[in-house]
Amino acid sequence: MDNGSERARARRSVKRDAILKALLQSKSHPSAEHIYNLLKQELPDLSLGTVYRNLSLFREEGLSISVGVVKGQERFDGNVSPHSHLFCSCGAVVDIDGIGIDEELDIKASLLSGCEITGHEIVFHGLCPECKNKKERSGGN
């Protein structure tokens, strides 16, 4: 057996596991760069490219979703159950649970467009709790 490549494979799966764990533990919908910065101390030979590659693999494998691009960076979510997001101007992406899938909306969209609809995502825009508090403290507006 080629022990060199076996060791390389083992190292790769250590990285993969660490990236997946960081993604699953994060509630902040991290970017690849964010995960890279979190892990680079414990994995000094980790590269940003490796983080990107693993994140897109997770998406292909159904372990993660991409929630969109915020300030030029794609943001990922380890929570693949259907839920909505709020995008704040500070760059925060906040989970909004409890908004169910509205099948009537799919039917309406299908009738309006003539398309076959397989699902929809609801995206909210506004202020995250932190920005909302800041605004309230500074006296509104």
Q: Does 99 bind Zn ion (CB under 5 A)?
A: no
Q: Which helix (H) or strand (E) holds 51?
A: helix 48-60
Longest Cα pair distance anywhere in the chain, in angstroms? 69
Least CB distance from residue 47 to Zn ion, whole Å? 26
3-class DSSP state of 73: strand
Which region, judged by CB under 5 A, interacts with Zn ion, from 15-23, 106-114, 115-123, 130-138? 130-138
Which region, judged by CB under 5 A, interacts with Zn ion, from 36-44, 51-59, 92-100, 107-115? 92-100
3-class DSSP state of 2: coil
Q: Does 35 bind Zn ion (CB under 5 A)?
A: no
Beta-strand pair 123-126/84-88? parallel
Residues of the shown chain interacting with Zn ion in the complex, contacts defined by CB under 5 A:
77, 79, 88, 90, 92, 95, 128, 131
